[in-house]
Structure 1
Amino acid sequence: MSAPRLRVDTPERAGLDPEEIRHLAWDVEGLTRGGRPWAAGAVVVAGRGPVIAVQRAAGWAVRYAAYDPEAGAGVELPPGRRVAMTVDTPFDLASLTKLFTSVAAVQQIERGTLGIDTRIGAYLPDFRAAAAHGVTVRQLLTHTSGLRPELPLYDCADDTERLELLRAEAPVDAPGTYRYSDLNMLLLQQLLERMTGRGLDVLVRDGITRPLGMTSTGFGPCPGAAATEDQRRPWAKADRGPLRGVVHDENAWALGGVAGHAGLFSTGRDLAVFCRALLAGGAYGPARVLGPDFAELLLTPPGLGFAVDQPWFMGELAGRGAAGHTGFTGTSLVLDPATDIFLVLLANTVHPVRRPPDSAPRARAGTRLARAVR
């Protein structure tokens, strides 16, 4: 039996308060206004059940030509050369990529080809340091491996040196200790590719995005994407200049753009489909990418790849089992199985330069949607 597909309809048809939904859209528009806005541009897609109650774009996909460190501000493009944000604009998802890597891993767990509590040394014996400490697949998925947040792979001379760094990296905390780490998803990528003989990009495409009809989702390059950063040292880790359509994360860039922790591009509508499929127990339309029990496993505390009940970016959606994630470039999504609602908020907050993280607007959006539930 097919699961319902998304359709655009009124907030009332979705069982959501129209006034709160209007305020949610206005709030997002306000994030892109002023001389130094929270983001140059933003897209919000939110709804309940199979209904998209709001999809709104605001601001600019490309607003700045560069960043001027002496002025501490972006160099504005003339209005005629700016690119307006639309609801179809793709974004560099940054760490939202981790969710797709996690789903790809849970698909293997469901098939019985991967053991969730098996030590990764059984699959990656050459990753000797993590193997020696008994790191398990579950610990990679829950960020409890004890591995440090990242390694400077972008400073390595070649892929051989990068791989050797990963193989020699031991946990800095005792396995079982929570420490959010990109390395977890890089090791998980290595494991998946080793056991399946296919690249992560192929696993994501064939196992998730193609069955779900997410035609605007994939690893870069993505020429029409929202611009990210004028990436230069000392504020960045590499000197690459203004970036648009190529991965922002320096390690993912060094790895060729396909990485377990970053590299995917997508749109608000495609991510709404992803949320809808998980809320519907792994199915969307005629496609099923996970069984209901395994879709639930992803979202059950502490979450496999997904963060659960985090008020710092979920607002009042937290506290009742809502799950989601954020991305460094300004992306986020939240889905709440208890009320069947989803919220996708995409913004290019690092355009033209990275800044101290501020998730207050994400939390306000989550609170708006939580209060809209009738």
Structure 2
Amino acid sequence: MLIEEKRNNQFDLVVSDVRKSSKEVDCSGASVFIIHNDKVVTEEYWGKHSKAPNARPIQEDTQFHVASVRKSYIGFAVAYAVNKGYIRSIDDTITKYLPWKQKTELIGITIRHLLTHTHGLKIMNGELYREFSAGENWAYRGIGIDLLTEIVKATTGNTVAEIIIQNVLRPLHLTETGWYGELNEKLVDVIRKPDDPNWMTSKSTDGGKMNMYVSARDLAKWGYLHLKRGYVNGEQMISSNAFDLATSLQSPNLFDTELPQNGFLWFVKDLPASKTEIGHLVPKGSYQILGYTGVTLLVIPQYNLVAVRAFNSFGSPDGFDYLADVRNFGDTIMTCLLN
């Protein structure tokens, strides 16, 4: 994917803001990458891959552990399956596509509920149970992601990774995106507490596990592909319908209107909601995905903008308000745009 470069200082305040955040979290390096009006306007790297004295500097081909940002790729795989007719409707129940899963707790839960974190399922002590009735509340739980990846494989015959590689990475020559069973020199060290219960790794490369690494520039191009609804370099590479599905509001009507709103796992900006991760100044129609590593991808269609920030931390230090921090990222971008 070719994007013209035209560096300017319009977003220097964003870089300063991310530098400040990088000092507050436990990381050794970071990056900011912004595409505005179809041009790369900001590309900054600093620090090193780890805290080791001889660690590799953070640079253009550095790949960051993206944590939950990987869910935007899973969301695309589901949108692909819907667009191709493998999934008839996201309002179909899980058990229609996974008939061998007939547990009582799954009855009545739809693909829409999984995509929007409104399924109500939770795993505790190895057992599955209902935290709340499907469509009545919102909770960020990994079991929904596991079920979505199973549905993708069951309906298309391909893993999430295979769909992404065949339809996005190879055609667009995005070589700095992948799921890794083994580490290599281009992957950052993930700085974390040794006993962090949220840390999980895997040797699987099927796209369903938390071992995805992406460079800041590849992640920005992934966002740009969504911004342009699949039309890049003068060609409709992928059906625009898949991107419309993935990035538009899909959440069921909830009793609590302050809860986050989602597309196909993306967080989307629609009605004002106090619990959203998207900044107050960011306009309606924008969408964002945030990982536990602080890696963030924000797309603002109204201003033809894609912004990425990337750290190599995992989790937040005590007293650090990660939601306020990521909202500030979006609001700082808007301040630069509006000024």
The answer (yes or no) to whether the contact 1:317–1:336 under 8 Å persists in 2 is no
TM normalised by structure 2 equals 0.83
The answer (yes or no) to whether the contact 2:223–2:299 under 8 Å persists in 1 is yes
Q: How far did residue 300 of structure 1 move?
A: 1.6
Q: Which residue of 2 aligns with 1:329?
A: 293
Larger Rg: 1
Q: Which residue of 1 aligns with 2:266?
A: 306
Distance 1:56 1:117, change over 3 A: same
SS in 2 for 1:373: helix
Distance 1:173 1:358, change over 3 A: same
Structure 2 Cα separation of the partners of residues 53 and 103 of structure 1:
26
Distance 1:288 1:108, change over 3 A: farther
Identity %: 21
Q: Which residue of 2 aligns with 1:57?
A: 45
The answer (yes or no) to whether the contact 1:41–1:59 under 8 Å persists in 2 is yes
TM normalised by structure 1 equals 0.76
Structure 2 Cα separation of the partners of residues 132 and 39 of structure 1:
39
SS in 1 for 2:278: helix
Q: Which residue of 1 aligns with 2:255?
A: none
Residues 241-281 of structure 1: per-residue CA shift (max 9 Å, x gap):
xxxxxxx841x52x735453632210111011111111111
* Aligned mate of 1:344, from 286, 289, 308: 308
Q: How far did residue 185 of structure 1 move?
A: 1.2
Q: Which residue of 2 aligns with 1:181?
A: 141
Q: Which residue of 1 aligns with 2:221?
A: 273
Q: What 5-or-longer segments of structure 2 have no aligned partner? A: 250-261
Q: What one-letter code is carried by the residue in structure 2 that aligns with 1:105?
A: V
* Aligned mate of 1:124, from 89, 95, 98: 98
Q: Which residue of 2 aligns with 1:228?
A: 190
The answer (yes or no) to whether the contact 1:186–1:259 under 8 Å persists in 2 is no
Q: Which residue of 1 aligns with 2:155?
A: 195
Q: How far did residue 112 of structure 1 move?
A: 1.2
The answer (yes or no) to whether the contact 1:129–1:169 under 8 Å persists in 2 is no
Structure 2 Cα separation of the partners of residues 271 and 209 of structure 1:
11
Q: How far did residue 188 of structure 1 move?
A: 0.7
Q: Which residue of 1 aligns with 2:7?
A: 10
The answer (yes or no) to whether the contact 1:29–1:59 under 8 Å persists in 2 is no
Q: Which residue of 2 aligns with 1:72?
A: none
Task: Report which stretch shifted further, 257-266 or 214-223.
Answer: 257-266
Q: How far did residue 26 of structure 1 move?
A: 2.7
Q: Which residue of 2 aligns with 1:145?
A: 119
Q: How far did residue 151 of structure 1 move?
A: 5.8
Q: Which residue of 1 aligns with 2:326?
A: 362
Q: Which residue of 2 aligns with 1:42?
A: 30
Distance 1:83 1:358, change over 3 A: farther
The RMSD of aligned alpha carbons is: 2.7
Distance 1:198 1:273, change over 3 A: same
Q: How far did residue 287 of structure 1 move?
A: 5.6
Q: Which residue of 2 aligns with 1:162?
A: none
Q: How far did residue 345 of structure 1 move?
A: 0.6
SS in 2 for 1:61: coil
